[in-house]
């Protein structure tokens, strides 16, 4: 989720504990690229280098990230992780929009 000040909420459950551990730096860099630097459509396509670094790190530490690797390598597609990041981003954007919504009074709600 994005905080009201525009920063990434690294404690958001949508990110989970993925920013901890040996690939925490790579995870943060991939997510930050997706949120802050990606200008291409589909979003995140210009973050391939960061996403590759994250995947490589996870493979280097397969004993810890095996559950993620199995999920993403099942079809042997490198873009699965990108899709997960995009999904998390969309969820965060929805949460951000909800937090920005403020109730408004209609003329029938106002008491004279």
Instruction: List helix spans (H) across the chain.
Output: 24-32, 48-60, 62-73, 80-100
Q: How many CB atoms neighbour CB 10 within 10 A?
A: 16
What structural domains and CATH numbers belong to the chain?
A: 1-91 (1.10.287.2900)
User: For position 80, what pLDDT does the model report?
Assistant: 58
Question: What is the rounded radius of gyration, in angstroms, for the C-alpha atoms of the chain?
Answer: 18
Span 23-51, average pLDDT: 89
The CA distance from 105 to 94, in Å, is 23
Task: Tell if the pTM clears 0.75, that is, is over it.
Answer: no
- Which has more confidence, 97 or 63? 63
Q: What percent of the chain shows pLDDT beyond 70?
A: 63
Q: Where does the pLDDT of residue 15 fall: very low under 50, low under 70, confident under 90, or very high at 90 and above?
A: confident
Span 51-58, average pLDDT: 93
């Amino acid at each position: 989720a994005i905080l009201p000040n525009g920063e990434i909420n690294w404690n958001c459950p949508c990110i989970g504990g993925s920013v901890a551990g040996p690939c925490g730096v790579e995870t943060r860099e991939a997510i930050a690229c997706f949120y802050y630097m990606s200008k291409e459509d589909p979003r995140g396509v210009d973050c391939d280098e960061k996403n590759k670094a994250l995947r490589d790190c996870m493979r280097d530490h397969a004993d810890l990230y095996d559950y993620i690797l199995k999920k993403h390598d099942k079809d042997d597609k490198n873009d699965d992780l990108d899709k997960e990041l995009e999904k998390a981003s969309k969820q965060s954007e929805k949460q951000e929009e909800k937090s920005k919504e403020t109730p408004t009074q209609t003329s029938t709600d106002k008491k004279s």
